[in-house]
C-alpha cells in the first residue's frame, strides 16, 4: 500500500503558481508527499490529524468529514474518523454505522473501553474506522488533553485521522483542534458563514494551528454567475486562506446522507460532488489536482445514471 | 506611617487592587476631610499611583456633586481615572451619574461594596493566566511593589511598540499588546483580545475603560445617518497644531524616550503614543488604545478598533471603528478602502453609504460641521 502511495504521488512543487516563496512551499499541502520524504523515514508512519471545522453550524462539516474519510479509505489509506460533537452525534448516521455503536469516545477517555474496542470498522471498506461520540453526555466530558491522547494512540496505526468538529468556538471546538496537524474550514458561499469562518481562522492562527485550508461547500454556479451568491474570489478576499476544494450543491448528497452511504463511496457516475471529494483527498495527499469547472454540468448519461441510481435502491 | 503599612482592617480608608481597578473604600468613620487624607496618601508617592482606574466606595455617605468633581480632579492629577462610585446613598449616586460615572460594577459584589467590611481586605492581584489579556493598570499597594516589578522583567515601553512589529514567536504571549504594569506610560491603554481565550470566563458586563455608557434616558437604538462622500476641502493652514493626539507618532515617541529616564515624574497631560499593528485583524479581534492606531493590514468585518486618537488603516477597513474616543472631534479615520460596518468619531455614529460596486479609493473620514463625512484622497498638486 505504501509503495502505491509513493508511486502515485506527483511533483512536490507546483510550477504554475506564481509568487511563491520557499518557506511557504514547505507548508503547502502539496509538499506532504512521499516523494519529498527521504526513504529511511518512509518506514515511520507519518499520520496526519485533520480537523474539519467551520464556526457556523449546518454548513456541511459532518458530510465533508464522512466523505473525505470514505474517499481516503477508498484509495487505500488507513483512516479513522472521530466525531467530536459530543451530545449531538451524527457522524455515525451519515456514515451508516449507528447500529454498530457499542462504545464511544467518552468511554475511551474515561477508561471503560480500549481504543480498539470503541473503533468501528466499516464493512464496506476495511481501512475505514469510526470513533463515535457519546449521545448522552455533553462537551464537558472530554478535555483537549484527552483528545490529544486519543489521537496520539491513533497515530501509530493510521495514515489519516479526521475529526468532525462541532459548531461554535467553545469547548467542543477547542477539543477538536487540540490534536490537529491541519485544519480544514468548511464555508458556504454566504455572508454569515464567511463571517464566522473569519473568526475561526483568527482563533486557529492564534492557537498556532494555522493556516487553515478552505473548502467551499454548496456552491451554486448559476447563482454566482447571476451575482446572487458570493463567488470564490469574494470569499477568498475576506478569508485569505488557501482553497483546497469546492463542492457544488447536490441533492444526491442529502439522499446519501439519509441512507448512511456517503456519496464518495458510490461508484464513479460522473457526479461532480463525488469527484470533488475525491479530488480533495488527493490534494491532501500532496497531489496537485486542478479544480473542477463547476460550470460544466455532468454529461447527460452521467446525470441519467445518477438519477437511476438514486431511484433504484 | 504610610497607608499601605497599616493593617487593612483598621483603616478608615482602604485601597485594594482588583480586576476592575483600585477599589478605594472610604468608611463612615472618616471625618469629612477624607479627600484631604486621600490626597496626602497619594502625594507621598506621586508617580506610584499613575495609570490606574479607581472605583470609589463610600457606603452611606452623601457626596454632593462639587465634592465629587473635586475628587475626580484630584485623582486625575495623580494620573488615576475615577470611573465608578459605589454607594447606597441616592444623592451620591445621582452626583456620580451627572459626572458620567458608573454606579454599579459587576465585578464588585454588593456585599463588598457595603461598609463596614468584617473580613480582612486581601490584596488581590489578578493571577497572570496563560495569555491573560486583561492588562494590569495599577500596581497593588504594597511595600514590596518595587521588588515585584523588578521580577516582571523589562517594562513594556510604549516606544518599543512603535519600532517593532508584534512578533509571531511561538513562545511569546499571543497578546503581546497587553502591557505589563507600566509606570512610564503617559496614559493607560488597554488591549483587549476578546475572547480567543476568555469565552465564558470573562465578565461580559465588565465596563472597560473605552466603552461608552448608553444614554439611560434613551428608549431605542440611535438613528444612524449615512456618511456622505465629499471632495476634500482645500488645505487648511497647519501652522499651529494643537497639542492633541494628532501629534506625530515620532514626536510622541521621542517625548517618551526622554521621559523614561526620569522615572516616576511624568507630565500630567500629553498625547498617548500611537500603536502600530502590522497584521490583519480578523473577525472577533478587538483593539483598544488611548492614542492613535495604525494598522498595516485589513480590518475584517467583525473586528473592532477603538482609539482615543486617529485610526489609520493601510488596507481595507470593513469592521467597526471608533476614533477620537470619547470626545475628540478632531480625530480622523483613514483607509485605503473605507467600508466599515459602522464608523464612529467621538460621539457621532454613521454608516457608510451603500454603493453597489465601487472602486476602492483612499478616503479619510472626519467631522465637518457636526457630521461625519468621507473625503476622497486627492493628491495635492
Q: pLDDT tens digits for A95-128?
A: 999 999 999 999 999 999 999 999 999 999 999 9
Tell me the mean pLDDT in the region B15-34: 78
C-alpha cell at B356: 453597489
Q: Cα–Cα distance between B158 and A66 in angstroms, integer?
A: 50
Residue located via cell numbers 492633541: B244
Closest residue of chain B to A206, computed from CA coordinates: B174
DSSP state of A36: G
- What was the pLDDT predicted at B250? 41
**Contact status of B128 with chain A (Cβ, < 8 Å):** no
8 A C-beta contact, residue B303 and residue B284 = yes
- What was the pLDDT predicted at A216? 96
Residue A238 distance to chain B (closest CA, Å): 7
Range with the lowest mean pLDDT among A133-147, A299-313, B127-141? B127-141
Closest residue of chain A to B284, computed from CA coordinates: A199
Indicate the helix (H) or strand (E) that contains B348.
strand B348-351
Tell me the mean pLDDT in the region B296-309: 94
Residue A55 distance to chain B (closest CA, Å): 12
- What was the pLDDT predicted at B43? 79
Closest residue of chain A to B169, computed from CA coordinates: A208
DSSP string, A241-289: -EEEEEEE--HHHHHHHHHT--GGGS---S-HHHHHHHHHHHHHTT---
Which of A191, A238, A243 is CA-nearest to residue A212?
A243
Closest residue of chain B to A238, computed from CA coordinates: B300
Three-state secondary structure of A208-223 = CCCCCEEEEEEECHHH
How would you label B284-320 residue by residue, b for 16+ Cβ within 10 Å and e otherwise? bbbbbbbbbbbbebbbbbbbbbbbbbbbbbbbbbbbb
Q: Are the beta carbons of B282 and A202 separated by less than 8 Å?
A: yes
Does the pLDDT of residue A177 top 90, yes or no?
A: yes
Q: How many A/B residue pairs have CB atoms within 8 Å?
A: 35
φ and ψ at residue A305, rounded to 5 degrees: -60, -45
Does the pLDDT of residue A136 top 50, yes or no?
A: yes
Tell me the chain A residues in contact with residue B280 when contact means C-beta distances shorter than 8 Å: 240
A292: confidence class by pLDDT, cuts 50, 70, 90:
confident
Closest residue of chain A to B279, computed from CA coordinates: A202
Tell me the chain A residues in contact with residue B202 when contact means C-beta distances shorter than 8 Å: none
Tell me the mean pLDDT in the region B370-381: 83
C-alpha cell at B46: 506621586
Tell me the mean pLDDT in the region A52-80: 95
Q: Cα–Cα distance between A115 and A104 in angstroms, integer?
A: 9
Residue B211 distance to chain A (closest CA, Å): 22
A13: confidence class by pLDDT, cuts 50, 70, 90:
very low
8 A C-beta contact, residue B292 and residue B252 = no
Q: How many CA atoms lie within 13 A of B183 on its CB side?
A: 19
- What was the pLDDT predicted at A73? 95
Percentage of chain A lying above the pLDDT 90 cut: 66
- What was the pLDDT predicted at A237? 92
Tell me the mean pLDDT in the region A257-267: 89
A32: confidence class by pLDDT, cuts 50, 70, 90:
very low
- What was the pLDDT predicted at B124? 47
Which one of A170, A199, A206 has the shortest CB-CB distance to B283?
Answer: A199
Q: Cα–Cα distance between B106 and B324 in angstroms, integer?
A: 27
Tell me the chain B residues in contact with residue A203 when contact means C-beta distances shorter than 8 Å: 196, 284
- The SS3 assignment for B39 reads helix
Tell me the mean pLDDT in the region B9-38: 77
Tell me the mean pLDDT in the region B26-53: 78
B309: confidence class by pLDDT, cuts 50, 70, 90:
very high
**Contact status of B174 with chain A (Cβ, < 8 Å):** yes
Number of H helices and E strands in chain B, helices first, is 7, 17
Mean residue pLDDT across chain B: 68
- What was the pLDDT predicted at B110? 53
Tell me the mean pLDDT in the region A221-226: 91
Tell me the mean pLDDT in the region B79-103: 85
Tell me the chain B residues in contact with residue A202 when contact means C-beta distances shorter than 8 Å: 196, 282-285
- What was the pLDDT predicted at A93? 94
Mean residue pLDDT across chain A: 84
Q: What is the CA radius of gyration of chain B?
A: 22
Stronger pLDDT, B148 or B369, i.e. the higher one: B369
Q: Are the beta carbons of B174 and A206 separated by less than 8 Å?
A: yes
Sign of CA dihedral B97, B102, B105, B111: negative
Q: Which residues pair with A53 in a beta bridge?
A: A185
A150: confidence class by pLDDT, cuts 50, 70, 90:
very high
Residue A211 distance to chain B (closest CA, Å): 13
- What was the pLDDT predicted at A301? 66
A299: confidence class by pLDDT, cuts 50, 70, 90:
low
Which burial class, exposed, middle or buried, applies to A41 when counting CB atoms under 10 A from its CB (0-12, 13-18, 19+)?
Answer: exposed
Percentage of chain A lying above the pLDDT 70 cut: 81
Q: What is the CA radius of gyration of chain A?
A: 19
Sign of CA dihedral B254, B260, B261, B265: positive
Which one of A169, A205, A238 has the shortest CB-CB distance to B300?
Answer: A238
- What was the pLDDT predicted at A44? 52
Q: Are the beta carbons of B282 and A198 separated by less than 8 Å?
A: yes
Closest residue of chain B to A168, computed from CA coordinates: B199
Q: Are the beta carbons of B280 and A240 separated by less than 8 Å?
A: yes
Q: Are the beta carbons of B196 and A203 separated by less than 8 Å?
A: yes
Residue B378 distance to chain A (closest CA, Å): 26
φ and ψ at residue A7, rounded to 5 degrees: -70, -35
Residue located via cell numbers 481501512: A127
Stronger pLDDT, B377 or B45, i.e. the higher one: B377
Q: What is the ipTM of this complex?
A: 0.72
Tell me the chain B residues in contact with residue A170 when contact means C-beta distances shorter than 8 Å: 199-200
A68: confidence class by pLDDT, cuts 50, 70, 90:
very high
Q: Are the beta carbons of B302 and A195 separated by less than 8 Å?
A: yes
A291: confidence class by pLDDT, cuts 50, 70, 90:
confident
- What was the pLDDT predicted at B141? 45
8 A C-beta contact, residue B29 and residue B117 = no
Residue located via cell numbers 492614542: B291
Tell me the chain A residues in contact with residue B300 when contact means C-beta distances shorter than 8 Å: 198, 238
- What was the pLDDT predicted at B114? 53
8 A C-beta contact, residue A122 and residue A129 = yes
Does the pLDDT of residue B271 top 80, yes or no?
A: no
Does the pLDDT of residue B369 top 60, yes or no?
A: yes
Stronger pLDDT, A50 or B7, i.e. the higher one: A50
Which of A184, A173, A118, A120 is CA-nearest to residue A150?
A118
Does the pLDDT of residue B323 top 60, yes or no?
A: yes
Stronger pLDDT, B31 or A218, i.e. the higher one: A218
Amino acid at each position: 500500500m505504501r509503495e502505491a502511495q509513493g508511486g502515485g504521488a506527483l511533483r512536490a512543487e507546483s510550477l504554475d503558481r506564481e509568487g511563491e516563496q520557499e518557506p511557504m512551499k514547505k507548508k503547502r499541502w502539496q509538499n506532504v508527499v512521499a516523494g519529498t520524504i527521504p526513504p529511511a523515514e518512509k518506514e515511520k508512519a507519518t499520520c496526519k490529524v485533520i480537523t474539519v471545522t467551520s464556526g457556523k453550524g449546518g454548513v456541511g462539516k459532518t458530510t465533508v468529514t464522512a466523505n473525505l474519510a470514505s474517499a481516503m479509505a477508498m484509495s487505500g489509506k488507513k483512516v479513522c474518523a472521530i466525531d467530536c460533537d459530543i451530545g449531538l452525534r451524527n457522524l455515525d448516521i451519515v456514515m451508516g454505522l449507528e447500529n454498530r455503536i457499542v462504545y464511544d469516545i467518552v468511554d475511551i477517555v474515561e477508561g471503560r473501553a480500549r481504543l480498539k474496542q470503541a473503533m468501528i470498522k466499516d464493512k464496506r471498506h476495511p481501512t475505514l474506522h469510526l470513533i463515535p461520540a457519546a449521545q448522552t453526555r455533553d462537551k464537558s466530558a472530554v478535555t483537549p488533553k484527552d483528545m490529544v491522547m486519543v489521537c496520539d494512540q491513533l497515530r501509530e496505526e493510521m495514515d489519516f485521522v479526521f475529526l468532525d468538529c462541532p459548531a461554535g468556538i467553545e469547548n467542543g471546538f477547542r477539543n477538536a483542534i487540540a490534536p490537529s496537524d491541519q485544519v480544514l474550514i468548511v464555508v458556504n458561499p454566504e455572508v454569515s458563514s464567511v463571517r464566522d469562518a473569519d473568526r475561526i481562522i483568527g482563533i486557529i492562527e492564534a492557537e498556532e494551528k494555522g493556516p487553515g485550508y478552505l473548502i467551499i461547500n454548496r456552491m451554486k454556479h448559476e447563482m454566482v454567475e447571476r451575482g446572487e451568491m458570493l463567488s470564490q474570489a469574494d470569499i477568498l478576499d475576506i478569508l485569505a486562506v488557501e482553497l483546497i476544494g469546492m463542492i457544488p450543491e447536490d441533492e444526491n448528497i442529502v439522499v446519501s446522507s439519509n441512507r448512511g452511504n456517503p456519496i464518495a463511496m458510490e461508484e464513479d457516475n460522473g457526479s461532480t460532488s463525488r469527484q470533488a471529494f475525491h479530488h480533495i483527498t488527493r490534494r491532501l495527499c500532496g497531489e496537485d489536482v486542478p479544480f473542477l469547472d463547476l460550470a460544466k454540468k455532468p454529461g447527460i448519461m452521467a446525470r441519467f445514471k445518477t438519477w437511476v441510481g438514486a431511484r433504484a435502491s | 506611617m504610610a497607608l499601605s503599612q497599616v493593617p487593612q482592617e483598621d483603616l478608615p480608608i482602604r485601597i485594594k487592587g482588583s480586576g476592575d481597578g483600585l477599589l478605594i473604600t472610604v468608611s463612615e468613620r472618616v471625618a469629612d476631610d477624607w479627600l484631604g487624607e486621600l490626597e496626602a496618601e497619594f502625594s507621598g508617592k506621586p508617580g506610584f499611583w499613575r495609570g490606574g482606574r479607581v472605583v470609589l466606595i463610600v457606603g452611606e455617605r452623601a457626596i454632593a456633586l462639587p465634592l465629587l468633581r473635586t475628587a475626580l480632579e484630584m485623582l486625575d492629577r495623580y494620573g488615576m481615572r475615577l470611573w465608578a462610585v459605589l454607594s447606597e446613598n441616592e444623592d451620591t449616586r445621582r452626583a456620580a451619574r451627572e459626572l458620567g460615572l458608573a454606579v454599579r460594577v459587576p465585578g464588585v459584589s454588593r456585599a463588598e461594596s457595603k461598609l463596614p467590611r468584617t473580613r480582612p481586605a486581601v490584596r488581590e492581584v489578578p493571577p497572570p493566566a496563560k495569555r491573560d489579556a486583561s492588562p494590569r493598570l495599577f500596581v497593588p499597594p504594597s511595600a514590596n511593589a518595587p521588588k515585584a516589578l523588578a521580577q516582571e522583567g523589562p517594562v513594556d515601553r510604549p516606544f518599543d511598540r512603535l519600532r517593532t512589529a508584534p512578533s509571531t514567536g511561538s513562545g511569546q504571549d499571543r497578546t503581546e499588546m497587553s502591557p505589563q504594569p507600566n509606570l512610564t506610560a503617559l496614559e493607560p491603554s488597554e488591549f483587549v483580545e476578546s475572547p480567543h481565550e476568555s469565552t465564558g470566563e470573562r465578565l461580559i458586563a465588565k465596563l472597560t475603560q473605552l466603552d461608552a455608557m448608553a444614554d439611560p434616558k434613551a428608549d431605542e437604538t440611535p438613528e444612524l445617518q449615512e456618511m456622505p462622500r465629499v471632495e476634500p476641502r482645500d488645505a487648511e493652514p497647519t501652522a499651529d497644531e494643537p497639542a492633541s493626539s494628532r501629534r506625530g507618532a515620532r514626536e510622541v515617541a521621542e517625548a517618551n524616550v526622554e521621559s523614561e529616564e526620569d522615572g516616576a515624574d511624568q507630565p500630567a497631560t500629553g498625547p498617548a503614543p500611537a500603536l502600530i499593528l502590522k497584521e490583519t485583524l480578523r473577525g472577533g479581534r478587538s483593539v483598544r488604545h488611548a492614542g492613535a492606531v495604525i494598522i498595516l493590514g485589513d480590518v475584517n468585518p467583525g473586528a473592532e478598533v477603538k482609539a482615543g486618537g486617529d485610526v489609520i488603516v493601510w488596507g481595507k477597513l470593513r469592521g467597526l471603528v471608533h476614533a477620537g474616543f470619547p470626545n475628540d472631534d478632531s480625530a480622523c479615520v483613514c483607509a485605503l478602502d473605507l467600508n466599515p460596518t459602522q464608523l464612529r468619531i467621538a460621539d457621532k455614529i454613521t454608516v457608510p453609504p451603500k454603493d453597489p460596486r465601487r472602486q476602492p479609493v483612499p478616503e479619510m473620514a472626519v467631522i465637518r460641521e457636526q457630521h461625519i463625512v468621507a473625503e476622497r484622497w486627492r493628491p495635492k498638486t
